[in-house]
Structure 1
Amino acid sequence: MDRTLTTATTAKIADAATAGSAHAVGLAEWLTRRAARAPHKPALTCNGITWNYGELIERIERMSAVLAAGGVTPGARVGYLGLNDPMFVVVLFATARIGAICVPLNFRLSGQELAFIIGDAGVHTLVVGEEHIAVIDAVRTDLACHCFIHRGGAVPGWESADALMAGARAERSLPVAVPVRADDVAVIMYTSGTTGHPKGAMLTHGNFWANNLNEMFLWDMVSTDVTLNFAPMFHVGGLLCGSMATLLAGGHLMLQRAFDAEAVLHAVAAHRITVSFAVPAMLLFISQHAAFEAADLSSLRLIAVGGAPMPEPLLRLYGARNIPVHQGYGMTETASMITFLHPDRSSDKLGSSGTPPLMTEIKLIDASGEPVTAPGATGEICVRGANVMPGYWNRPEATQASFTPDGWFRSGDIGYRDAEGFLYVCDRIKDMVISGGENIYPAEVESVLYDHPDIAEVAVIGAPDARWGERVVAVVAPCPGKSITLEGLHAFAEGKLARYKLPKELRIVDALPRNSTGKVLKATLRVHNVATATGSP
């Protein structure tokens, strides 16, 4: 593709800057307006290739023409499966440009898991990285997608995105941009389901806009920032913690295809990275690398951390390198951010997740729904703000259950506030396990393991893990006369569960503890050292 901006593209960018629109919160609209301010400024770098803002907009326009020509209409869903790549950014904004909805897919999932999500979302067009074609081909007969597009050269049965975009001359085939409202859905991000199936959180253009503003005000994002993203962009952390706000601010977003500690250290020094996002496990691996001590990290003005609590020793280690760590608490359903703790308070508010940003508010409620206001008193954390999703895709009952009658989102987490209003998250109502920043719901794992012919009962819980935050533990009561091994569980669940969801530890018991109604007492399992543990952390 010609890397020189066409006259037509430059004119369109300039027109967008002066047109004025009530729909400026739309993803494609604000990016086009931002590009108009400095089209020749670096916007996106990956694998040694850099696009400026004008080049990025031109590719987005061409991809929007490809999608429209393939039958994607406003409201239709476009799936993307692949590692971090500039094409993901192009597909996201091109989909938004024609009023459609992007569905980022977790490349760590098995074919069966992906097929469920693709079917549940009703994906019309699926864009896939070359490294994931095989997993889709294995389940392709189960998919109702109309178009299959891949990132790269000729592959039998697949359209080439590069070839299609090269043929989509923006001057003659560009579809008219579709105006969107703040409450129109921009992205459906799937979260693991508490009942065994994932649910799609509908994030609107307004949700993205609000989260961007939250981050820009909290982190003082400016056009000179260079942000490094190595977290997967199918995840709300990788997509929304810094990446989108960087583009809105007119900064330079650098993508790494996947996390690699050595590559991170090299990139920070070589490109003078100022902002980044990580989960604590990533920061641990970076600190354990042999090059960490000598690495030049002086350009970093902040690292945003989320997905799991930040261990105090790790916080001290980065503090000793004069690297400010912004700790946060967020969820997919809230477009990431709920509260944030500024580095200035990390010592005297150790263990706190901070206070809400500008566009967000929180409250605590008791079991009857009444507000909890006394310092130190615990309650369920509820969230309200322009960053909160309107609900789950095709799940009206789950949506209703997730909101209070007066419109607050129920997080399912238990916390308390101190006298200054700083939030401390102390427990989870839901049994979610957070391992390496990934949300794992026990019901999903249990539903697979219960099919094992030698298992009579199984419960899945989380256990503290020095590297990953938490690890998945399977507590199993075998059938009489049968034996279970961790390796056997892995072999049985292979292909049915993503590898990060597989149990890292197996505990054998005669029977699971239950209450009078038959419910498994998972709190008991967590507290007591039940039987023999096998496997490794």
Structure 2
Amino acid sequence: MLAPGMAEWLRRRAARSPDRPALTCAGQTWTYAGLVADVERMAAVLAAGGIGRGQRVGYLGLNDPQFLVTQFACGWLGAIFVPLNFRLTGPELAYILNDAGVHTLFADEDHAGLIDEVRASLECQRYLRRAAAPGWEALVPLMAQAKAAPSPAPTHPDEVAAVMYTSGTTGHPKGAMLTHGNFWANNLNVMMMSDLASSDVALNFAPLFHVGGMCCVSLPILMAGGHLVLQRSFDPAGVMQAVAEHRVTVSFAVPAMLLFVSQHPDFDRADLSSLRGISVGGAPMPEPLLRLFVARGIPVNQGYGLTETAAATIFLDPGRAQDKLGSCGTPAMLTEVCIRDFEGRPLTEPHARGEICARGGNIMKGYWNRPDATAAAFYEGGWFRTGDVGYADEEGFYYVCDRLKDMVITGGENVYPAEVESVLYEHPSIAEVAVIGAPDPRWGEHVVAVVALRPGASLTLEALQAFAEPRLARYKLPRALRVVAALPRNPTGKVLKVRLREMGLE
């Protein structure tokens, strides 16, 4: 399959529509020609510092046009982009930077201090930030003086374009190697399954260092020739304001973000009429929240994917959101999906639960410097093991039950926390809920509900059990209730269940 490198397809898009708006952030707009000009200058700055094919360039900072400029500049040179989670500590960042062998690091003004704290342990050879500071080169004057780099370096679809580190729950994070071909296939998947067009305006407030922000919104809309509106971070009021101001047509969010938007006092009167769809992923969408947005006339395009799949794997058309409530959809155009039992054997019976596996052009090449982990992540034939439990119905629609590692086994019965959470979310006193397992001397484990309550609300375990009992089997009912001020979440909105366990909330 022809798969131009990232920089090449951006160059072609700019040649086709140079004066169209490509990117808006903080009141400033770049045309496609202007964006490519910045990419060329950034590529020249990187090349002058010794960056070439296969070398790694790191980026640490909030959402910013410079993130995308740096990513495309890496593609221009055949270098490898390493986006960093800005919520990590200095030692955590140091591990990733050294594991990836990052040569040049850009950090924004808000996060450069984290790097300074661990500078002595780093192996990076060059440090860039916008303004000069001790130990840092100033990027702004370098960009102003740079001459445009030559045409993009030819790249093979199998060449690594980015190493994106997964948030490991045990041990160190692993770097998923995503190729130019992976990004190309993912963009096509999103464009076809979401009907993206050059007339679309896409709003991204999810972190760009995560595949949700990068691969579900930003890169696909740019390849489609549309207009990307970028917010530096998530803010519910800012989201609604941006939709109204820019007449946003499409966006991406994790369910927690939509929950916070729906709880904002302006939600009922906000002008969201331009939205023709919101793609949702990262966690199962609670049914009450789905119904709330559908009632507002906002189609919700649920989907499923991981860092290792460059995101786009399964999509649910908004038109099936009601009759396929709870489903994440059918396989993307360029991806195959199957269910296998826990010994790796394919399961073909409808509703048979097993591990979701996928293969296709969007599946990662492997884990950076982790051949053993790479081998363990794939079955024969290129089938990637997602680590998620799910099933397919009679029509081939897929459902995600939960992460294998989050499943609670009580008295020999499997309890999928997402199923229990979906029921508990409907309790009027609950603002947030997470279900985890706790050791039980009799049953092995029992179900624990960790909740954050709405203002002024109260809740007892007995009341919660009485509420859920008509809809859940008795073994699925919470046997313990823990109330917290707020659930701990990572930057993408996922609940950190490992943190709940570490806090002793089980």
Pick the TM interval, shorter chain: 0.7 to 0.9
Residue 131 of structure 1 and its aligned partner are, at CA, apart by 0.3
Counterpart of 1:163 (choices 130, 138, 141) is 141
After TM superposition, give the deviation of residue 24 of structure 1 in Å.
5.1
* 2:392 is the alignment partner of 1:417: yes
Alignment of 1:98-497 (within 5 A): 98-150=77-129, 152-170=130-148, 174-431=149-406, 464=421, 467=431, 470=434
1:30-109 equivalences in 2 (<5 Å): 30-109=9-88
2:454 counterpart residue number: none
Q: Distance in 2 between matches of 1:204 and 1:231?
A: 22
Distance (Å, rounded) in 1 between the aligned partners of 2:483 and 2:439: 11
Write the letter of the residue equivalent to 2:39. Answer: I
* TM-aligned CA deviation for residue 323 of structure 1: 0.7
| CA offset digits 1:242-272 (Å, max 9, x no partner) | 2111101110101000001111111101110
SS of residue matched to 1:32? helix
* 1:319, distance to aligned residue in structure 2 (A): 1.0
Deviation at 1:427, TM superposition (A): 3.1
The 3 A distance-change label for structure 1 pair 356 and 133 is same
Amino acid at match of 2:287: E
Provide the secondary structure at the position in 1 that maps to 2:113.
helix
- The AA in structure 2 aligned to 1:272 is R
Distance in 2, Cα, partners of 1:534 & 1:355? 37
Q: Where does residue 450 of structure 1 map in the other structure? A: none
After superposition, what is the alpha-carbon deviation per residue over 1:25-46, rounded to whole angstroms, capped at 9, x for unaligned?
2000000000001111111110
Unmatched segments (≥5 aa) in structure 2: 409-416, 441-474, 487-506
Cα–Cα, structure 1 residues 162 and 471, in superposed 2: closer, same or farther, change >3 Å?
farther
Per-residue Cα deviation, 1:79-121 (whole angstroms, up to 9, x for no partner): 0000000000100000110000000000011111111111110
- 1:309, distance to aligned residue in structure 2 (A): 1.0
TM-score (norm 2): 0.82
Q: Is the 8 A contact 1:281 1:469 kept in 2?
A: no
Which range moves more in the overlay, 95-104 or 190-199?
190-199
- Following TM superposition, by how much is the alpha carbon of 1:526 offset from its aligned partner in structure 2, in angstroms? 9.1
Q: For residue 104 of structure 1, give the secondary structure of its aligned residue in structure 2.
A: strand
Cα separation, 2, equivalents of 1:407 and 1:306: 24
Q: CA–CA distance in 2 between the matches of 1:305 and 1:133?
A: 32
Compared CA separation, residues 39 and 109, structure 1 to 2 (3 A): same
Deviation at 1:406, TM superposition (A): 2.0
Describe the shift of the 1:300–1:361 C-alpha distance in structure 2 as closer, same or farther (beyond 3 A).
same
CA contact (8 A) 1:191 1:200 kept: yes
- Going from structure 1 to structure 2, the CA distance change for 1:527 and 1:294 (only over 3 Å counts) comes to closer
1:386–1:274 distance in 2 versus 1, CA, 3 Å: same
**What residue number does 2:479 align with?**
529
CA distance in 2, matches of 1:177, 1:376: 48
| Residue 533 (structure 1) shift | 4.1
Residue identity in the other structure for 2:395: E
The answer to whether the 8 Å contact 1:82/1:131 transfers is: yes
The number of residues matched between the two structures is: 439
Give 1:154 shift.
2.4
Instruction: Give distance in 1, aligned partners of 2:398 and 2:433.
Output: 20
Residues 370 and 401 from structure 1, CA distance in 2 versus in 1: closer, same or farther, beyond 3 angstroms?
Answer: same
Q: Is the CA contact (8 Å cut-off) linking 2:175 and 2:368 kept in structure 1?
A: yes
Q: Distance in 2 between matches of 1:471 and 1:262?
A: 29
In the alignment, residue 276 of structure 2 is paired with which amino acid? R
Q: Secondary structure at the match of 1:361?
A: strand
CA contact (8 A) 2:159 2:179 kept: yes
Say which SS state the counterpart of residue 112 (structure 2) adopts.
Answer: helix
Partner in structure 2 of residue 456 of structure 1: none
Alpha-carbon distance in structure 1 between the residues aligned to 2:101 and 2:345: 39
Which residue identity does 1:400 align to in structure 2? A
Contact 2:335 2:359 (C-alpha < 8 Å) held by counterparts: yes
**Letter paired with 1:56:** L
Give, in angstroms, the shift of residue 407 of structure 1.
Answer: 1.5
> RMSD of the TM alignment (CA)?
2.5
The alpha-carbon deviation at position 201 of structure 1 amounts to 0.4
Instruction: Name the TM-score, length of structure 1 as normaliser.
Output: 0.78
- Percent of aligned pairs with the same amino acid: 60
Q: Which residue of 2 aligns with 1:483?
A: none
Task: State the alpha-carbon separation in 2 of the partners of residues 352 and 183 from structure 1.
Answer: 32
Decide whether aligned partners of structure 1 residues 367 and 314 sit closer, same or farther in structure 2, where only a CA change above 3 A counts: closer
Structure 1 residue 432: deviation in Å? 9.0
Partner letter of residue 55 of structure 1? G
Q: Secondary structure at the match of 1:40?
A: coil
Check conservation: 2:284, 2:400, Cα contact below 8 A: no
Segments of structure 1 that go 5 or more residues without pairing to the other structure are 1-21, 434-460, 477-524
Q: CA 1:213–1:467 in 2, change beyond 3 Å: closer, same or farther? A: farther
1:469 Cα offset (Å): 6.0
Structure-2 separation of matches of 1:325 and 1:121: 37
Shift of 1:51: 0.7
TM-aligned CA distance change 1:129 to 1:390, over 3 Å = same
**Preserved contact between residue 3 and residue 181 of structure 2 (Cα < 8 Å):** no
Residue aligning to 2:502: none
Q: Which moved more, 1:94-103 or 1:414-423?
A: 414-423
Q: Is the 8 A contact 1:327 1:353 kept in 2?
A: yes
Q: Take 2:478 and 2:271, find their aligned partners in 1: how far apart are those partners?
A: 45
Q: Counterpart of 2:18 in structure 1: which amino acid?
A: P
Separation in 1, partners of 2:367, 2:246: 39
Offset, 1:413: 1.3
